[in-house]
Amino acid sequence: MKTVTDYEMHLFHEGTLYESYSLFGAHLIKEKNKIYTRFCVWAPNAESVRLVGNFNDWNGERFQLHRVNHEGIWIICIKGDLQGHLYKYEVIAQDGSKRLKADPYAFFSEVRPGTASIVYSLDDYQWNDHKWMKTKAEKTILAEPVAIYEVHLGSWRRHEDGSYLSYKELAAELIPYVKELGFTHIELLPLIEHPLDESWGYQGTGYYSVTSRYGEPKDFMCLIDQCHQHGIGVILDWAPGHFCKDEHGLFRFDGSYLYEYETLGDRENAIWGTANFDLGKNEVQSFLISNALFWMKYYHIDGLRVDAVANILFWPNRHETENPLGSQFLKSLNQTVLAYDPSFLMMAEDSTEWPQVTSPVEYGGLGFCYKWNMGWMNDILSYMETSPESRVMAHGKMTFSLMYAFMESFVLPLSHDEVVHGKKSLLNKMPGDYREKFAQLRLLLGYMFAHPGKKLLFMGFELGQFDEWKDKEELDWNLLDYEMHQKINKYVKDLLKLYRRSKPFYELDHLSEGFEWIDVHNHQQSIFSFVRKGKKEEDYLVIICNFTGQKYHDYRVGAPKEGSYREIFNSDRDEFGGTNSINKKVLKTEAIEFHGRSHSLRMEIPPFGLSVLRPVKHRKERKGNGKEKVRSHVISRRERK
């Protein structure tokens, strides 16, 4: 009968058993035409461990696990295939106390409020996303458009009776919706098993068990498979810093502080009422790093958004004292994950000023691919919530982000955290009357997509919700019955189309060469103008943003180059709910120096509006569209006549 090898034990205790899920948990073992179910658990300080479940009437007297070579690893093999059966470990501590514990490595769990683990095989799912996986590996994501739709599956949409949609139902409804909007990725709030709905998955018990709220693990595989087949990447929120303290979970697993720090001040997380993982313990590193690889291998996840990185980098109760155990864990995590799959996206939700978060570990960095730009998020929302007439005093909040925009590879987030718990919805953060709120929301979104950095937005913004996020209800879909909400929805779709088809918005996203201010100093009018550039010299766009309700005629803007420009996007179009202050005609430059440039142009500036200008290319500059050849044939025919 297969047991634990000395090599596996060595790697586990060393912190480098990166497929620890293959050793621990419940697994079907075939041997000599017989099937066994093997259970393996780490509980070094337990006096004894028993297996209990619905297959033995929850009586573990004859189901004692045996300890392997005093290594703290316990194992038992039961004859037969126990798939679908409920089970727990009855852990007897050295003081004689008993605890019924769910399996830390279980692949499936009972629907809450049940807390038992379920024997489940993840094998034999037939994936159909080979094209996606191949294409993803060939792309350089830094130079690609990335627009992420953040989703809480339990409140995106629900049945009429208030019950959740299943993973399969979400595949049928969420995927075409996200694709129609134009997002490149979805990001799912944590789906590890968790007892409390209100924690949104950030306080987990089953790190290897996708939550049973919406169906079985293979149903979730189907959801991801369908996303990939429709060209949509999937990112999963992941919380490796802390876990909930429910009795059946990881907390005091064998009577000792096993997964968590032993010292009270380091262990307790008073803000969330959780326990912090002991990131310096090798076995915990094997558990967590294996978990990251597990989601990649078994579920084809495209990325992890690592939650609360500040809580890992700094000791939570030591007044901003750096935690070297945490930073070393993150380096090991990122090195291991990206060695396994270089195209995988590791994203840090980090509110600190820690340097080189997205630099490779070998160059002194933490090794993440992207960092959430929390500074940009705080500044832009603070600016937008300021009354338009007072924005003259808050001008620096808009310009400061460009001082550091290229020091890291950033994601610009307007996430769930900004539209919950009294913070108001994005629309309701905007000052002014009904139409001004919508105009400023359009402007905010337009400026966000024109600003360097990948994009992330939480579900519901595209409906123009007045209410903040309600996690126990579905989104306010009824709003789409109303004109202004239909128009903001159309605006979002058109904005995403503009973003995805405009290389200057993403090709040099992470490099200073991709951005240039035209006018950064106009605080009196709160107007900002700048250039976004692509890799080719002729690929650039001019963006002008007016953050007041004042409309301007014949407003002069310095032009990057002499020539003609066409307005290709305007947030004030009537089809978006605006006043239609647009520039219909081609804008030609004049030899008038302005904004430090030799040529300039005059244009209409919409109130609370964003305008995007593209240089008009002459026919000889156009390549590959076939018009040059057609024109030459027409001329030759005329000459023959």
Tens-digit pLDDT profile for residues 381-427: 999 999 999 999 999 999 999 999 999 999 999 999 999 989 999 99
d(Cα 56, Cα 62) in Å, to the nearest integer?
A: 9
Range from 162-171, 315-324, 605-614 carrying the lowest mean pLDDT: 315-324
The reply to whether 307 belongs to the active site is yes
Determine the pLDDT at residue 601: 98
**What is the average pLDDT value for the chain, to the nearest integer?**
95
* Fold assignment, 135-245+277-505: TIM Barrel (3.20.20)
Q: Is the pLDDT of residue 631 over 60?
A: no
Determine the average pLDDT of the residues in 564-574: 98
Instruction: Report in angstroms the alpha-carbon separations of 338 from 5, 280, 294, 299.
Output: 27, 21, 13, 16
The reply to whether 474 belongs to the active site is no
Give the active site residue among 110, 150, 266, 349. 349
Cα 443–448–454 angle (5° rounding)?
160
Q: Is the pLDDT of residue 632 over 90?
A: no
Give exposure, 176-208, as e/b (b: 16+ Cβ within 10 Å): eebeebbbbbbbbbbbbbbbeeebbbbbbbbbb
Pairing of strands 192-193, 527-533: unpaired
DSSP state of 392: G
Give the active site residue among 110, 283, 307, 572. 307
Q: Is the pLDDT of residue 620 over 80?
A: no
Token pair for 446: 């337009």
Contact between 114 and 54 (Cβ < 8 Å): no
Task: Write phi, then psi, for 628 (nearest 5 degrees).
Answer: -60, -45
Start-end of CATH 2.60.40.10 domains in the chain? 6-118
Cα 79–45–7 angle (5° rounding)?
60
pLDDT digit string, tens, across residues 191-230: 999 999 999 999 999 999 999 999 999 999 999 999 999 9
Determine the pLDDT at residue 640: 39
Q: Is the pLDDT of residue 330 over 70?
A: yes
Q: Is the pLDDT of residue 636 over 90?
A: no
* Fold assignment, 512-621: Immunoglobulin-like (2.60.40)
Start-end of CATH 3.20.20.80 domains in the chain? 135-245+277-505
What is the band of 247 on the pLDDT scale with cuts at 50, 70, 90?
very high
Range from 43-52, 102-111, 552-561, 629-638 carrying the lowest mean pLDDT: 629-638
Q: Is the pLDDT of residue 334 over 90?
A: yes
How crowded is residue 641: how many other Cβ atoms within 10 Å of its Cβ? 4
Q: 6-118 maps to which CATH number?
A: 2.60.40.10
What is the band of 633 on the pLDDT scale with cuts at 50, 70, 90?
very low
pLDDT digit string, tens, across residues 85-118: 999 999 999 999 999 999 999 999 999 999 999 9
Long-range CB contact pairs, 470-479, < 8 A, 24+: 470/155, 471/152, 471/154, 471/155, 471/197, 471/198, 471/200, 471/420, 472/155, 472/197, 473/155, 473/158, 473/162, 474/155, 474/156, 474/157, 474/158, 475/155, 475/156, 475/157, 477/157
Determine the average pLDDT of the residues in 223-239: 98
CB contact set of 557 (below 8 Å; sequence gap of 6+): 518, 519, 529, 542, 544, 594, 595, 600, 601, 602, 603
Determine the pLDDT at residue 320: 85
Start-end of CATH 2.60.40.1180 domains in the chain? 512-621
Determine the pLDDT at residue 619: 64
Q: pTM (2 decimals)?
A: 0.94
CB contact set of 392 (below 8 Å; sequence gap of 6+): 523, 524, 526
